[in-house]
Structure 1
């Protein structure tokens, strides 16, 4: 996700994306016993950290991940976007290089570098973020992200999130997240643009547990603090709902 204004990177987006892609391929194919997986979704609205990336329009999304026994992995993910019409941004590609594995029976850790690329735009909106996630019992997690070019600006931002899921049976589960984006240093305008957001989802499995591909229907209610509406605009933030059909394979 990026914001409605150009960033001030020194490296062109195409060069940055190519370098990240080369690193991912090199790391992935060196991993022993590599496993390939994928995911896809059709959603009524692409919502990222509380704000819509498609002005409330549907999005088609697809991603692939290759992982080795060592825990090293690389992934690529894509979606259509329309958050900044004046920049002609119409597509987003996320490239991730990371490492993750279990720490005993209950705990797991993941650290990664995530690069957001917008090759279709007339402006350089690309940016990169360092992320870490700790998971407990597979149902509770906390994440922290940092970037010195948050949202495509040339300033830092820190993002924190906690989440949980509650399976009711083999088919139905609920998920909830609460996030806070610390953007007080953003754009050097001496205004605190930090905001909070949250969501609650109901997810219904349409295929039997353990089957591949797995197909699910998801309904999510999102909300943000008023600061998000001040920052992004009330047409992009605030309260909204999202329905999606998603699959993993």
Structure 2
């Protein structure tokens, strides 16, 4: 898989969204389509760089129905030092609200086109996400479960919490956020690290239709626990994205 694959995939996603929106406007497709494209200085997943500390090009397309059913596909370049160069995530879920609590039940299939089957990278993960809106602030908690996690590392559980606060006194629609999560993995030797805690703090705003975000993310793992690499160490990640 070449490094241009993510760009070609994103271009295809955006073209599909344009056609889907045209059909939607004509009343032929129920629900609503949306898409996004992003450029980031790194792709960090639960505190660990997925791109060898290099930049990432990412994009996705989503469809949501008034009933709460939603589907999506998202892609990014990755670099694990193997023949996997792209990650494509396929998502299906159902979202709704009970009182003041929003919920989202979803199933994600993480796929890595081009990766050797022997690497056993592809995996399924189910998630329950809950959110509570406090006005200028919002709280979120989530639980993720995989019966067979990345790389054949067995069952995995991820529990996380987050908070976001809008700061209307500042320009650019500034929002401050923080989050923390704990990853539990059945076969740590196969996975490559002990169970880990990751955390992040960040700020985001909007300029001329573009969303800008600066995030600092870190884990509780030392380099020796991360295969002797710096992929689990603290880092700033800058991202610019646009929704369509």
TM range (shorter): 0.7 to 0.9
Task: Supply the distance in 1 between the matched residues of 2:212 and 2:189 (Cα, whole angstroms).
Answer: 42
Match of residue 72 from structure 2: 75
TM-aligned CA distance change 1:68 to 1:196, over 3 Å: same
Moved over 4 A (4+): none
TM-score normalized with structure 2 length: 0.79
Q: Is the 8 A contact 2:73 2:90 kept in 1?
A: yes
Give the length in aligned residue pairs. Answer: 209
Partner SS state of residue 154, structure 2: coil
Match of residue 95 from structure 2: 100
Q: Establish whether residue 51 from structure 1 lines up as the match of residue 53 from structure 2.
A: no
Q: Gaps (5+ residues) in structure 2?
A: 1-23
> 1:112 is matched with which residue: 78, 99, 106?
106
Aligned positions of 1:11-30 closer than 5 A: none
TM-score normalized with structure 1 length: 0.78
Task: Supply the distance in 1 between the matched residues of 2:173 and 2:107 (Cα, whole angstroms).
Answer: 33
Q: Is the 8 A contact 1:143 1:160 kept in 2?
A: yes
Q: Please state how far the C-alpha of 1:202 moved relative to its aligned partner.
A: 0.8
Task: Supply the distance in 2 between the matched residues of 1:49 and 1:132 (Cα, whole angstroms).
Answer: 16
Q: Please state how far the C-alpha of 1:40 moved relative to its aligned partner.
A: 1.4
Match of residue 148 from structure 2: 149
Task: Supply the distance in 2 between the matched residues of 1:113 and 1:233 (Cα, whole angstroms).
Answer: 33
Q: Is the 8 A contact 1:42 1:60 kept in 2?
A: yes
Comparing 192-201 with 48-57, greater Cα deviation is found at 192-201
TM-aligned CA distance change 1:192 to 1:107, over 3 Å: same
Q: Is the 8 A contact 1:229 1:236 kept in 2?
A: no
Q: Is the 8 A contact 1:195 1:227 kept in 2?
A: no
> 2:238 is matched with which residue: 237, 243, 248?
243
Calculate the aligned-residue CA RMSD, in Å: 2.3
Q: Establish whether residue 121 from structure 1 lines up as the match of residue 115 from structure 2.
A: yes
Partner SS state of residue 225, structure 2: helix
Partner SS state of residue 226, structure 1: coil
Match of residue 204 from structure 2: 203
